[in-house]
């Protein structure tokens, strides 16, 4: 395994990646970098190709053209899917610790699973079976399981979609703090522009024809302040919303 690069350094990249499936162009000429210790958010309408892009990153799908430079990192281990995929006959703690079985070569402290369950508000149900918990709780267990193996990159496919708005906001704040304090590298698919603005350092919008319609640099910490004063966030939100409409009309390469 290569040494983990420093914050801001290149972790991995896609170079001019295209994907065709069943005669249809799903992704077209996608180039992007994943920077260490940073969050990249992928936005785009339903069917734009966001999940396909994650599959290319994890190596589950070979691109028709182009290259993936993983920098020697395992980009598959830290994946959290839309559906949590827990084993119903195992407890919350057992499900959360499951990834460690496959990561025996990683130096993961035993207490980490309990620490993550605590961080994610799951301690009270640690001994409940997965079939006994709610959808939102299951999503948090899946997140704990991915984090417990200390992945090089956390790949999140709409990980908060089943959460109630309050829990969702709490988890977004928590995740951003962890990224900042612990340097977690994250790629996240979301439909929620505000979620991208709260979490991401880099925001990429996939538009028509599987192309990148636009991309923005974002500074979530600079948005913090008294309510109503965060004008940069409001400006960016408006820019991104406008770009969705432009992307519907004209394919672009950015
Ligand atoms: N196995 C497949 N064969 C052919 N086309 C596929 C296959 N899987 C996905 N697609 C098509 O690829 C396109 C992109 O799908 P993808 O799931 O990546 O979109 P998405 O942006 O993640 O959508 P959503 O936001 O709805 O999850 C869609 O038009 C979909 O129909």
pLDDT at 109 over 70: no
Cβ(152)–Cβ(106) below 8 Å: no
CA of 157 to the centre of ligand 1 (A): 13
| Whole-number Å distance between alpha carbons of 140 and 24 | 35
Domain edges within the chain: 1-77+152-254, 86-150
Ligand 1 pocket mutation, candidates 20, 47, 58, 159, criterion most atoms within 8 A of CB: 47
Angle at 119 between CA 193 and CA 81, to 5 degrees: 50
Number of CB atoms found within 10 A of residue 124's CB: 10
Give the ligand 1 atom nearest the CA of 191: 25
Pocket of ligand 1 (CB under 6 A): 21-22, 24, 26, 44, 46-52
Cβ(149)–Cβ(101) below 8 Å: no
- Percent of the chain at pLDDT above 70? 88
Enter the ipTM: 0.96
pLDDT digits (tens, 9 = 90+) for 119-130: 888 999 999 999
Q: Which residue's C-alpha comes closest to atom 24 of ligand 1?
A: 46
pLDDT digits (tens, 9 = 90+) for 195-237: 999 999 999 999 988 999 999 999 988 766 665 566 888 899 9
Cβ(205)–Cβ(215) below 8 Å: yes
- Bridge partners of residue 59, in order along the sequence: none
The structure tokens listed for 96 are 């959360």
Please, what is the end-to-end C-alpha distance for the chain in angstroms? 32
Class of domain 1-77+152-254 as given by CATH: alpha beta
């Amino acid at each position: 395994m290569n040494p983990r690069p420093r914050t801001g350094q290149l972790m991995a990249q896609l170079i001019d990646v295209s994907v065709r499936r069943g005669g249809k162009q799903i992704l077209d000429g996608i180039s992007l970098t994943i920077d260490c210790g940073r969050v990249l958010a992928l936005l785009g309408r339903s069917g734009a190709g966001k999940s396909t892009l994650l599959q290319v990153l994890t190596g589950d799908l070979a691109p028709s053209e182009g290259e993936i430079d993983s920098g020697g990192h395992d980009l598959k281990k830290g994946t959290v899917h839309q559906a949590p995929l827990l084993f119903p006959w195992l407890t919350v703690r057992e499900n959360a610790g499951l990834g460690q079985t496959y990561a025996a070569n990683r130096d993961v402290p035993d207490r980490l699973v309990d620490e993550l369950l605590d961080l994610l508000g799951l301690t009270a149900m640690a001994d409940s079976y997965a079939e006994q918990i709610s959808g939102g709780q299951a999503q948090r267990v899946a997140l704990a399981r991915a984090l417990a193996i200390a992945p090089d990159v956390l790949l999140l496919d709409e990980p908060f979609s089943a959460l109630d708005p309050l829990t969702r906001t709490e988890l977004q704040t928590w995740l951003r703090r962890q990224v900042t304090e612990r340097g977690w590298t994250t790629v996240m698919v979301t439909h929620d522009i505000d979620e991208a603005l709260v979490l991401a350092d880099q925001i990429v919008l996939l538009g028509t024809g599987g192309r990148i319609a636009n991309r923005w640099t974002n500074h979530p910490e600079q948005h913090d302040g008294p309510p109503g004063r965060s004008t940069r966030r409001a400006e960016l939100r408006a820019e991104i919303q406008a770009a969705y409409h432009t992307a519907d009309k004209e394919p672009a390469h950015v």
